[in-house]
Chains A and B, each alone.
Chain A
Amino acid sequence: MRASLSTDRIDRAWIVDRIVQVLMFLGGISAVVFIVGIFVFITREALQFVFSRFDVVEFFTSIRWAPTSTNNATYGALALMVGTASVTGVAMLVAIPFSLGAAVYISEFATGRSRETLKVLVELLAAIPSVVWGFIGLTIVNGLIIDVFDVPIGLNVLNAGIILGLMAAPIMTTIAEDALKAVPDRYREAAEAMGATRWQMIRRVVLPAAKNGLVSAVLLGVGRGFGETMAVLMASGHSINLPTSPFDSVRALTATIAAELGETAVGSDHYGALFTLGLFLFLITFLINLTADVVVRGIRNS
């Protein structure tokens, strides 16, 4: 009798393996499908407006956003863009010191249980719903700004910036801490063995080595700032205005879409204009995230 290896058997493990492979493929591809789908949908809705009523100069240079005016509807988005940018700018002034400080503390100073506790707390902070942050802005920060700075309105760039900064800080902290953790320990050991103090080691070795990751943490924070809606809507005052000081109320791109989209007729100019704002936001956040990603890749290559 001839001995033979049975190598062509299809058993349960083989079938399960195939099924899992297909499922994983579907899972992986779906992210791409959804992104492309969303992009196509937003673009289609926006293009109707872009090709009919859209005026590039008005859109980017006028501050008159009056889409509901019956005889002279205008679609100047400059004030909205400046509103978003100014709130995000203040937010970064708040978030960068907080998040980088927290990341350095967690990664380089805290040890054992306090480190783990802090990490959990930071992640918890990231899970607070944005409407709760908006509520805090509306009630606590509003009163605080009125009292401290003696201004008539506390719902302004400063308020929204503080709220947004606190919102963006946790995710920035987590990413920055990952970047610091990725710095090999032997660099720290080398610096300490040469007699560097803790701060000299951090400033001259760890931070430069983690630079790319830290930059991308900040960029993702900026992306978060551009995209945040509810908290900004509640804390910024929501009035169309080119801000000249942090105490001016502004209106953000996102807040405009959220507040107005429910009241427009599908297919109308107003509807299309809001989708154009959305497309603009989408492109900007996409660019920011792409830059962050490219910057992070820079670490691995160098």
Chain B
Amino acid sequence: MTTSKDDSVDPLTDTQEIAVRTEKLSLWYGSFQALYDVDFAVRRGLITSLIGPSGCGKSTLLRCVNRINERLGYVRTEGKVEVLDTDVYASGIELTQLRRHVGMVFQRPNPLPLSIRENILFAHQLHEPGSEALPKADRDAIVEKALREVLLWDTVKDRLDRSATGLSLEEQQKLCIARLLPVKPKVILMDEPCSALDPKATAAVEDLIWQLRGEYTILLVTHNMAQARRASDECAFMLMGRMVEHGPTDRLFVTPEDTRTADYIEGKYG
């Protein structure tokens, strides 16, 4: 699994282009401060994992990038978040447009209670004017392409009109990834995408995430250190709402610079 990671020549890891950058990002849920001056940069086309103990703010940081945090209503943010050099907290930003470019996969697979086909076309219909007027063949092509990209086509091609909620959890999670692809997001946020899955399904979804590497910038929150280690290019360690350390995954796990990172990796807490 994920053998390509060890290939010696990998042009991607040389890229210096930044897809997501935060500057002095602080966030409060009511009066509770969840993030403290987080400076963080995610390189384009790579998989960057966020690790840290429960409540360290890694999911919160992730949810700042597409501003889905704001659904809660009592969230206050200071500082800056840029996606491809666009300040997403600027006043003219339309959330619907931002979320087209920044897709998200959740902890529990959450396909909409529609058919598999409708799930795939959902975002496309929201964002591409005239999508619903497309000839059926074109729409079918979109569905097939997205499902092939997530390796789900062969399993579901005969039941595209069945409800997506009847799929297995692994298939549901793959579908949740597939439905983002027709609108070509730049960044995909994944909030513990495998925590509801069994080991076999986890391996399958990790493989899939690895395949999407390069075309999409992926930011992956995970509880599972082994997963961060095998499925990401770069890794960032957070603690108590602060960014402690961020570097290439191989380096961070072998020679962490910060003693707190070392202790966490060794399992002394968390």
Interface residues of A (CB under 8 A from B): 111, 186-187, 189-197, 200, 204-205, 208-209, 302
Contacts and interface: CB of A to CB of B under 8 A. Distances in A.
A192 B68 contact: yes
A193 B68 contact: yes
B97 to A, nearest CB: 7
Interface of B: 66, 68, 71, 73, 95-100, 103-104, 106, 108, 110-114, 122-123, 126-127, 163, 176, 179-180, 183
A209 B73 CA distance: 24
B124 to A, nearest CB: 10
Contacts of B106: 186, 189-190, 193
A205 B164 CA distance: 13
Nearest to A194: B123
Contacts of A190: 106, 110-112, 176
A187 B99 contact: no
Contacts of B163: 302
Contacts of B114: 205, 208
B112 A205 contact: yes
Given A186-B106, A194-B100, 5 more contacts: A111-B73, A190-B176, A194-B99, A195-B98, A205-B114
A196 B98 CA distance: 11
Contacts of B97: 195
Contact of A193 (B66, B73, B183): B66
Contacts of A192: 68, 71, 99
The 8 closest A-B pairs by CB, nearest first: A195-B99, A186-B110, A194-B123, A195-B96, A193-B104, A190-B110, A195-B100, A209-B113
B75 to A, nearest CB: 13
B74 to A, nearest CB: 10
A101 B220 CA distance: 40
A195 B95 contact: yes
Contacts of B71: 189, 192
A193 B112 contact: no
25 contacts: A111-B73, A186-B108, A186-B110, A190-B110, A190-B111, A192-B68, A192-B71, A192-B99, A193-B104, A193-B106, A194-B99, A194-B126, A194-B180, A195-B95, A195-B96, A195-B99, A195-B126, A196-B96, A196-B122, A200-B126, A205-B112, A205-B114, A208-B113, A208-B114, A209-B113
B196 to A, nearest CB: 12
B96 A197 contact: yes
Given A200-B126, A208-B113, A189 B68 contact: yes
